[in-house]
Amino acid sequence: QAKDRGKNTYQFYSNNLDGISTWKMKLENWLRRAMEQNQMTLHYQPQFHLVTGKIVGVEALIRWNHPEYGYIAPSEFIPLAEETGLIVPLGKWILRVACEQRKAWKDAGFNDFPIAVNVSVRQFQDEHFIQFISGMLEDVGLEANYLELEITESLMQNLENSTIILNQLKSLGVLLSVDDFGTGYSSLSYLKHLPIDKIKIVKSFVDDITNHSNQGMMVKTIIDMGVNLKFTVIAEGIETEEQVTFLTRNACQIGQGYYYSKPLSAEKLENFLFEDKVKLRPDMNEE
């Protein structure tokens, strides 16, 4: 009987579940295993001061290479990790690895930029989040101002609760930035009441800014207001020289994108950092 029921259940599901759900179940199993088997690494994308060209930040981005399937993009598995709650342990791992890497770079003499880590709403709402961050930083031996947390506008949907958490995080000394700004719920004047340091203009806004488009006007407005309200403004997804020109002319401070560099392994990023250091110390460059 149980067998029959099982069979019926199977038929029921196979009739109703589409390929996407099957893929999702597979992915969830893989995800659990990936976390146990160290299949994930972090890559790092540098952020540049648009005028001086100096590296002023680095964003950590997760990379997953499945042993059989190959590369699986974050946009594929992060939403699933959020849905299943796996993002909480995964997110802790990401934060720790990023901070350990930042500490290593600091020990190597790269002093003056933070590491930015993406934090999803689910992690942020975990009741132990603040405690985890402060304990982890102490464990790693990294000062809080070397860590920047990238949050999304969707947090503003629960403004009251988010305000409390953001203030607690700020009091630890970490930096806070709003990722993908422009897609969602918040206005800049709204964010002014929160302890936010930076805003990152979403790539889709940055894409079309070269011509005299509405997009350009919108980005110009965001930069103007952002700077006036004392946020640091970052443009993400910069791919062309024209975009750099437009952004620089309109006083955007920081840029990130393939035009400068794709996300790189820690090793490759170090080459960038060394180059930067040598450029800044022409005396070392002589021989």
* Footprint on this chain of ligand C2E (rule: CB under 6 A): 45, 61-62, 73-75, 78, 91, 94, 118, 120, 179-180, 236-239, 257-258, 263
Per 3-state DSSP, the chain is made up of helix, strand and coil in percentages (nearest 5) of: 55, 20, 25
Q: Where are the beta strands (DSSP E) in 120-211?
A: 147-152, 175-181, 198-201
Using DSSP bridges, classify how beta strands 147-152 and 55-66 pair: parallel, antiparallel or unpaired. unpaired
Q: Which stretch binds Mg ion (CB under 5 A): 13-21, 110-118, 129-137, 222-230?
A: 110-118
In whole angstroms, how close is the CB of 264 to ligand C2E at the nearest point? 10
In whole angstroms, how close is the CB of 190 to ligand C2E at the nearest point? 20
Are the C-beta atoms of residues 47 and 255 closer than 8 Å to each other? yes
Residue 180 is a binding residue for Mg ion (CB under 5 A): yes
Pick the binder of Mg ion from 148, 179, 201, 257 (CB under 5 A).
179
In whole angstroms, how close is the CB of 274 to Mg ion at the nearest point? 25
Q: CA 184, 199, 204: angle at the middle one, nearest 5?
A: 55
Residue 262 or 281 having the CB closest to Mg ion: 262
3-state secondary structure of 236: coil
Q: Which residues pair with 117 in a beta bridge?
A: 60, 149
Binding mask 232-251 for Mg ion (x = CB under 5 A): ----x---------------
Distance CA 178, CA 186 (A): 10
Distance CA 220, CA 250 (A): 6
In whole angstroms, how close is the CB of 116 to Mg ion at the nearest point? 7
Q: Which stretch binds Mg ion (CB under 5 A): 11-19, 46-54, 230-238, 265-273?
A: 230-238
Residue 148 is a binding residue for Mg ion (CB under 5 A): no
Are the C-beta atoms of residues 188 and 229 closer than 8 Å to each other? yes
Residue 159 CA from chain centroid, whole number: 21
Pick the binder of Mg ion from 45, 47, 118, 123 (CB under 5 A).
118
Among Mg ion, ligand C2E, none, residue 172 binds (CB under 5-8 Å by kind): none
Residue 153 or 180 having the CB closest to ligand C2E: 180
Residue 153 is a binding residue for Mg ion (CB under 5 A): no
